[in-house]
Amino acid sequence: EKPYKCLECGMSFSNSSDLFIHQWVHTGEWPYECEECEKCFSQSSSLNCHQKIHTGQQPYECLECRKSFSLRSHLIHHQKVHARKWPYMCSECRKSFRWSACLVRHQNIHTGEQPYKCRECRKRFSDRSNLICHQNIH
């Protein structure tokens, strides 16, 4: 049973504290502020979760490749990489690719190879897209 009803939108809640927090959606109130970056949140639990970014805590680990994340949502997004069963798989991190050329390009990350060089400043990159982004600064 959900006896606590929002007068603004009609949404119902099982306890008054959930209704109270919900009402901030309508008032635009974001009372929980991160002291590190001043980002605001409507719930203290959201602030606590956010603060892991600043502390470096990464409690969410992918069981497939052992990569860790500060937020559960980032782990869930990452796990989609493993869910795809494309034919070309990296033996280092088990990420799979649709095309062999993409796998070869990806493997530069693990080998340290940086075949892409900026003509302007001669900085090198393992990925062509990173070179292209870099060239926009010149």
pLDDT at site 73: 86
CATH 3.30.160.60 in the chain, residue ranges: 4-43, 99-135
pLDDT at site 24: 80
pLDDT at site 2: 94
Positive or negative, the CA dihedral 120, 116, 97, 76 is: negative
pLDDT at site 29: 78
Per-residue burial over 38-59, b = 16 or more CB atoms within 10 Å of its CB, e = otherwise: eeebbeeeebeebbbbeeeeee
Q: Following DSSP, what letter does each residue of the chain receive, concatenated? A: ---EE-TTT--EESSHHHHHHHTHHHHT---EE-TTT--EESSHHHHHHHHHHHHT---EE-TTT--EESSHHHHHHHHHHHH---SEE-TTT--EESSHHHHHHHHHHHH----EE-TTT--EESSHHHHHHHHTT-
CATH 3.30.160.60 assigned to domain 99-135? The reply is: yes
Q: Write out residues in the chain with pLDDT < 70, as ranges.
A: none
User: Any residues with CB less than 8 A from the CB of 25 and at least 6 apart, and which?
Assistant: 42
The architecture (CATH level 2) of 4-43 comes to 2-Layer Sandwich (3.30)
pLDDT at site 23: 85
